[in-house]
């Protein structure tokens, strides 16, 4: 698929912008701070409903404006769709698909798919687990948009459960028999939340385990290609479940397509772990078990990448994670990773993602630049940003845009 049109209204530094994009390479060139990243950030936002730079929507709205609008036209096979997203300060975002009725923003997920690589991705390797959890979850949502609802339900259960744990801790601390009745009621409610958490948590856990299994060989291969084959890059899922942490994790069923048995097994393991952790959870007032405590462990030649890998190695690893995602989503037919059984195959046709490389080439030496250029060439559409035109490798021939504050012109 590719984006054929982008128009912005009060998005970031743009009062308005309107541009036609082409399949193949589209490079945005302009000096620092001119608004290149703002453009690709808008396209990434339409695909993921999130920015790769900020956790909240407020900075996306042009300062002084009340709402931002991002309109895109997406061509997939011989069909085209339009998405109009409205980002409003302090309100739920709304969307319109093909100029229809207003719908929830979440309903646009799955129409545009992007894989974006940016300097911020270094945090995937060097940063905290939450960035890596977001990486896995975002990829799952790109593959199966329905996962977005599961994730937000889980978040909600987690928030309510954690609030309950805190209040239970407070009433325990204040003690006294007058409180015992309400304490018992709190514990009963906690049981209900445990069941919900285990149910949704098992679904997320099962998907992440399958995702990591599918991604593992693709990451190793991509690392080898981007880094000159120095060192084995491995990824592994680390669960907060004691049963999965031991050297002998239980044999989980891995049926193709239907994974309900595995989800059931994981739910039971989560419930068990929740029962075990309860005294500690009540003591601390925090939810200690579940996918929100898990991590994606990255190792390079057997050593943890975080804390050991050099800057260049960390950079290559982050890039390998994105390239592997791109291939898993079918972005490179010659190098497509094994299509995971859990992924709805219908989504796969023509759904190859748009590849976005934000400010990536400046970080690489000439050889790595050329190698990366060769790797991304098979993409149906690549959007590149660079401050210096010479940083864009010559093989990435295509359309060039010149970016000046508030305006974009095609060269
Ligand atoms: N909400 C906003 N309202 C107005 N201006 C904004 C807003 N958010 C960001 N900007 C402005 O946008 C500019 C940055 O744009 P952007 O990050 O796209 O630059 P860039 O061209 O990618 O630069 P670099 O080459 O340094 O990466 C800054 O001048 C910033 O002040
Ligand atoms: Mg930038």
- pLDDT digit string, tens, across residues 65-89: 999 999 999 999 899 999 999 999 8
Q: How many residues does the chain have?
A: 411
Given pLDDT bands bounded at 50, 70 and 90, which one contains residue 339? Answer: low
Topology of domain 1-113+351-411, CATH: Rossmann fold (3.40.50)
Examine the pLDDT at 49 and tell me if it is beyond 70.
yes
pLDDT of 167 reads: 85
With a 6 A CB cut-off, is 35 part of the ligand 1 pocket? Answer: yes
Examine the pLDDT at 203 and tell me if it is beyond 70.
yes
Q: Which ligand is nearest to the CA of 68?
A: 1
Residue with CA at minimum distance from ligand 1 atom 11? 13
pLDDT of 138 reads: 95
With a 6 A CB cut-off, is 32 part of the ligand 1 pocket? Answer: yes
Given pLDDT bands bounded at 50, 70 and 90, which one contains residue 347? Answer: low
pLDDT of 409 reads: 96
With a 6 A CB cut-off, is 62 part of the ligand 1 pocket? Answer: yes
User: Which of 27-31, 151-155, 226-230, 374-378 is predicted least confidently?
Assistant: 226-230
CA 185 – CA 393 distance, rounded (Å): 65
Examine the pLDDT at 290 and tell me if it is beyond 80.
yes
Confirm whether residue 231 is marked as ligand binding: no
Q: Is 91 helix (H, G, I), strand (E, B) or coil?
A: coil
Give me ligand 2 centre to Cα 93, in Å: 25
Examine the pLDDT at 179 and tell me if it is beyond 80.
no
Examine the pLDDT at 402 and tell me if it is beyond 80.
yes
On whether the CB atoms of residues 135 and 119 are closer than 8 A, the answer is no
Strand-pair partners of 353? none
Q: Is 249 helix (H, G, I), strand (E, B) or coil?
A: coil
Confirm whether residue 34 is marked as ligand binding: yes
Confirm whether residue 37 is marked as ligand binding: yes
Give me ligand 1 centre to Cα 14, in Å: 9
Give me ligand 2 centre to Cα 216, in Å: 30
Given pLDDT bands bounded at 50, 70 and 90, which one contains residue 247? Answer: low
DSSP alpha helices (H): ranges in 103-179? 122-126, 129-143, 147-174
Give me ligand 1 centre to Cα 37, in Å: 7
Which token pair is 348? 């796969």
User: Which of 28-37, 144-153, 224-233, 303-312 is predicted least confidently?
Assistant: 224-233
Residue with CA at minimum distance from ligand 1 atom 7? 12
pLDDT of 349 reads: 65
On whether the CB atoms of residues 103 and 46 are closer than 8 A, the answer is no
Q: Which ligand is nearest to the CA of 406?
A: 1
Give me ligand 1 centre to Cα 350, in Å: 33
Number of the ligand 1 atom closest to the C-alpha atom of 38 = 18
User: Which of 117-121, 207-211, 226-230, 392-396 is predicted least confidently?
Assistant: 226-230
Q: Is 89 helix (H, G, I), strand (E, B) or coil?
A: coil
Given pLDDT bands bounded at 50, 70 and 90, which one contains residue 112? Answer: very high
What average pLDDT does this structure show over 360-365? 87
Instruction: Please tell me what DSSP assigns to residue 337.
Output: P
Phi and psi at 359, nearest 5°, equal: 60, 40
Rg (CA), the chain: 23
Q: Name the residue among 207, 194, 200 with its Cα closest to residue 274.
A: 194
With a 6 A CB cut-off, is 199 part of the ligand 1 pocket? Answer: no
pLDDT of 246 reads: 62
Number of the ligand 1 atom closest to the C-alpha atom of 387 = 25
pLDDT of 169 reads: 82
CA 230 – CA 301 distance, rounded (Å): 9
């Amino acid at each position: 698929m590719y984006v054929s049109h982008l128009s912005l209204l009060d998005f970031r530094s743009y009062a308005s912008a309107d541009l036609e994009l082409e399949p193949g390479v589209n490079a945005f060139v302009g000096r620092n701070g001119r608004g290149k990243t703002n453009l690709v950030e808008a396209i990434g936002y339409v695909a993921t409903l999130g920015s790769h730079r900020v956790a909240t929507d407020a900075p996306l709205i042009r300062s002084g404006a009340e709402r931002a609008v991002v309109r895109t036209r997406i061509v997939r096979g011989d069909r085209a769709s339009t998405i109009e997203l409205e980002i409003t300060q302090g309100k739920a975002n709304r969307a319109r698909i093909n100029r229809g009725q207003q719908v929830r923003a979440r309903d646009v997920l799955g129409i545009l798919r992007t894989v974006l690589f940016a300097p911020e991705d270094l945090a995937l390797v060097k940063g905290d687990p939450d960035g890596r959890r977001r990486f896995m979850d975002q990829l799952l949502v790109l593959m199966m948009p329905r996962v977005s609802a599961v994730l937000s339900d889980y978040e909600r259960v987690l928030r309510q459960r954690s609030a309950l744990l805190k209040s239970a801790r407070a009433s325990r601390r204040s003690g006294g028999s007058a409180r015992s009745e309400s304490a018992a009621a709190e514990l009963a409610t906690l049981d209900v939340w445990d069941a919900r958490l285990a149910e949704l948590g098992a679904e997320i856990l099962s998907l992440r385990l399958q995702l990591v299994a599918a991604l593992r060989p693709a990451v190793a291969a991509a690392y080898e290609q981007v880094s000159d084959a120095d060192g084995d890059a491995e990824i592994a899922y680390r669960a907060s479940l004691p049963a999965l942490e031991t050297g002998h994790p239980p044999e989980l069923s891995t049926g193709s397509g239907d994974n309900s048995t595995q989800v059931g097994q994981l739910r039971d393991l989560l419930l068990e772990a929740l029962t075990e952790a309860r005294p500690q959870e009540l003591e601390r007032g925090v939810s200690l078990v579940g996918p929100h405590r898990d991590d994606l462990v990255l190792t390079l030649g057997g050593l943890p990448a975080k804390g050991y890998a050099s800057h260049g190695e960390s950079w290559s690893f982050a890039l390998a994670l994105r390239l592997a995602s791109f291939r898993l989503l079918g972005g490179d037919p010659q190098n497509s990773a094994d299509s995971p059984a859990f992924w709805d195959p219908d989504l796969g046709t023509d759904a190859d993602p748009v590849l976005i490389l934000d400010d990536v080439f400046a970080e690489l030496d000439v050889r790595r630049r050329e190698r990366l250029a060769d790797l991304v060439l098979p993409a149906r559409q690549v959007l590149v940003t660079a401050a210096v035109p010479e940083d864009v490798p010559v093989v990435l021939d295509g359309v060039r845009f010149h970016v000046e504050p508030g305006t974009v012109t095609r060269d």
